[in-house]
Structure 1
Amino acid sequence: MPRKNLTANRRTFTHRVRYAARYPERVPRFLARAGRDAWLRLRHPGHVDYYRAVMRHDTAASPEAAVGSKSHERWLALGALQFDYLTGHGLRPGDHMLEIGCGNLRGGWRFIEYLDAGHYYGLDISPDILFAAQETLVRRRLQGKLPRLTPVRDLTLAFLPEAHFRVVHAHSVFSHSPIEVIEECLAHVGRVLRPDGWFDFTFDRTEREEHHVLREDFYYRTETLVALAEKHGFTAEFMDDWEALPHGQSKLRIRPRAPRPGPAAGRNGSAGPGEVAGQPAV
């Protein structure tokens, strides 16, 4: 998949006219989406409820298309891409993994098959797509791996254990999220990450004005998301090797910022003020 135009503002009238002239066959689908968007805005002013309704509609038509795959072959290919990337970066069978926006397990079934039993946890705001995820588990005969699939109302992650997951993953989630939803996630995901863990997420990147199309597609500058991650105690890395792969989004990896060391111990190894011998002060 070619890289999306990093300088276009898809909200402008000029861009829409040029796009319609170039792809006239896509105009009816966009008009249908715009009509649905207007209707759902009235019924669901909150973004999560709005996008849950979008997913209900799209999943009824095709679970694979609902997660952004236009064909079964593309669904398989994107899942394999995610799996190969994370295993190539050190995901191990014994790791506990959290997938935010697991969908119908496009990549998830591969992670479930690879990880030790009970080590995969998938979340999604859409109960409908999680029903489809259960069907994927049955087709792949993965019931014995005991994955957890949980619908959520938000991304506060309050019900998950502290410092439990070595890898957290969100593919094509923040590309459909306003900045307040992204910040909610970043404000809370550090609690469930192990100190040596990391959180990979993809996003639709722009190098100019940030914008969104309807309430479904959001485009962010890299520096905006890096600054937000740093605000919530992470270091952020732009994944250059991901850019070369056949897909349409960019990826950031964030890690918990290392805690500052405590005051140096006194001479002869004695503890300094407020310290316990062998441990930093808190």
Structure 2
Amino acid sequence: MLKPAHAINNYGHIDEYAPDDIASGAHRKSVGAYWDRMGELQFDFLVGKGLTPQSTLLDVGCGSLRGGIHFIRYLAPGNYYGIDVDPALVKAGLEHELPAAGLSERLPPDHLRVTTRFNCSFGVRFQFALAQSVFTHLPLNHIRLCLYRVAKVMPPGGRFYATFFEAPADEPFGKRHPEKDPFQYRPSELAWAANVAGWRFRNLGDWGHPRGQQMAEYRRVASPRETARRVRTKAERAAARIRR
């Protein structure tokens, strides 16, 4: 029985889909269009970045396993982990998509977790993490929390890839309201968010997403604790200069 890591808040998510909804593919439509195309695109991208069957992968926003099916088939059994805010999607992936693909034996149920605060502490160090179409739905402070939590489970050199909608240079909030989903960000804002937890940010740009989402790379260079120490030291030095 899948249990949430934290109590689910008022995101409006249902506990599970009715059988008729599963049969009609509602759990697939809920994660966006292009089920087959996007699943394959995620997989091809990470393999191109060095993902091997021996790698450990954290799928942030795993949903109903659109990309997960491909990764679970490729990775050594047990090397895939996923988190998501939506219990119905996770349940649909675990109970419907996995059996349909003949992959149930390759993924322990406790490798999927429902969490509203990016609780990804599975007792595993991840070489790779992916957040496909997650930052596009998050305000900036939620992105900072995500980066902080993921940094705790990745060793130096670990890479976290996340897609985002890029705001035009001459329109800081794009053509959308800045406080509403879907969100747009300048690369400089995502680079600033990286400072919360010892990441080095790089904007990879276009990676073939059918709706124009860009790809960001976060490479882990220091622990969150070390980052906090450096920030405190920098702040203390700045304060000392002001006092002088």
Shorter-chain TM-score: which interval?
0.7 to 0.9
Instruction: Choose from 113, 116, 123 the match for 1:153.
Output: 116
Per-residue CA deviations over 1:115-155 (Å, capped at 9, x if unaligned) read 00000001111111011111100100101112421111312
State the match for 1:198 in structure 2.
Answer: 159
State the match for 1:250 in structure 2.
Answer: 214
C-alpha distance in 2 between matches for 1:189 and 1:248: 25
State the match for 2:204 in structure 1.
Answer: 239
Of structures 1 and 2, the larger Rg is shown by: 1
Contact map agreement 1:78 1:107 (CA 8 A) in 2: yes
C-alpha distance in 2 between matches for 1:65 and 1:213: 26
* 2:88 pairs with 1:88: no
Using the size of structure 2 for normalisation, the TM-score is: 0.76
Which of the two has greater helix per residue? Answer: 1
Query: Structure 1 residues 143, 227: CA separation in 2 closer, same or farther (over 3 Å shift)?
Result: same
Structure 1: tracts of 5 or more residues without a match? 1-47, 261-282
Query: Structure 1 residues 254, 84: CA separation in 2 closer, same or farther (over 3 Å shift)?
Result: same
State the match for 1:229 in structure 2.
Answer: 194
Aligned to 1:193, the other structure's residue is in SS state coil
State the match for 2:29 in structure 1.
Answer: 65
Q: Percent identity?
A: 34
Using the size of structure 1 for normalisation, the TM-score is: 0.66
Aligned to 1:196, the other structure's residue is in SS state coil
Deviation at 1:96, TM superposition (A): 0.7
* 2:56 pairs with 1:56: no
Query: Structure 1 residues 247, 233: CA separation in 2 closer, same or farther (over 3 Å shift)?
Result: same
Q: Match of 1:257, as an amino acid?
A: V
C-alpha distance in 2 between matches for 1:232 and 1:195: 11
C-alpha distance in 2 between matches for 1:58 and 1:219: 30
C-alpha distance in 1 between matches for 2:42 and 2:81: 16
Query: Structure 1 residues 215, 241: CA separation in 2 closer, same or farther (over 3 Å shift)?
Result: closer
Q: Match of 2:185, as an amino acid?
A: Y
Per-residue CA deviations over 1:13-72 (Å, capped at 9, x if unaligned) read xxxxxxxxxxxxxxxxxxxxxxxxxxxxxxxxxxx834x31x439967611111011xxx
* 2:76 pairs with 1:116: yes
Contact map agreement 1:58 1:66 (CA 8 A) in 2: no
The count of residues paired between Structure 1 and Structure 2 equals: 204
Q: How well do the aligned residues superpose, as a CA RMSD in angstroms? A: 2.5
C-alpha distance in 1 between matches for 2:104 and 2:191: 38
Query: Structure 1 residues 173, 245: CA separation in 2 closer, same or farther (over 3 Å shift)?
Result: closer
